[in-house]
Amino acid sequence: MRFLFKLVVTAAIFAFVLPKIPGIDFHGSFWAALLLAFVFGIILRLVDIVAMAISAMLTIGSLGLALLILIPLWLVGFWLLPVVSLKLLAHFLPRYLTIAGWTPALWGGLLMLFTGILTTNFSKLLSKK
């Protein structure tokens, strides 16, 4: 149930909110937005796994010294993962979503980050009752 809630809210963001950002265009119906939301979730998970794998390799390769750099980078740059995922989504599905640069992707990624945080917390509240 929580998955469907997050999927529908993310699709609504793709269909109605992201096109309000200058430089982001959505082409399609709400079904296309559902497809984008599903593929965005997959790409976001893959980007997260790749980032963790690179961090693990750097940490192991430097015998832990890379953590002195990686921990501040993760604390400051965790919000870049949705930005990269959104840009990759626009690259793989240009028929439905186009992004004209990194600045609109930055604003869209921040919006997607906050949407993910809010829907996760809200769906947890709904499941407790």
Boundaries of every domain in the chain: 2-124
Q: Looking at residues 10-16, what average pLDDT do you find?
A: 93
pLDDT digits (tens, 9 = 90+) for 107-126: 999 999 999 888 888 767 76
- What is the C-alpha separation between 36 and 89, in angstroms, rounded? 8
Identify the residue with better confidence: 44 or 126: 44
53-80 mean pLDDT: 89
What pLDDT is stored for residue 129 in this prediction?
60
| CA atoms of 12 and 50, how far apart (whole Å) | 27
Which pairs with CB-CB distance under 8 Å and at least 24 residues apart come from 110-114?
110/79, 110/82, 110/83, 111/13, 111/17, 111/18, 111/21, 112/10, 112/13, 112/40, 112/82, 112/85, 112/86, 113/79, 113/81, 113/82
Cα separation, 11 vs 17, in Å, equals 10
pLDDT in tens, 16-39: 999 999 999 999 899 999 999 999
Range of lowest pLDDT (17-21, 51-55, 94-98, 118-122)? 118-122
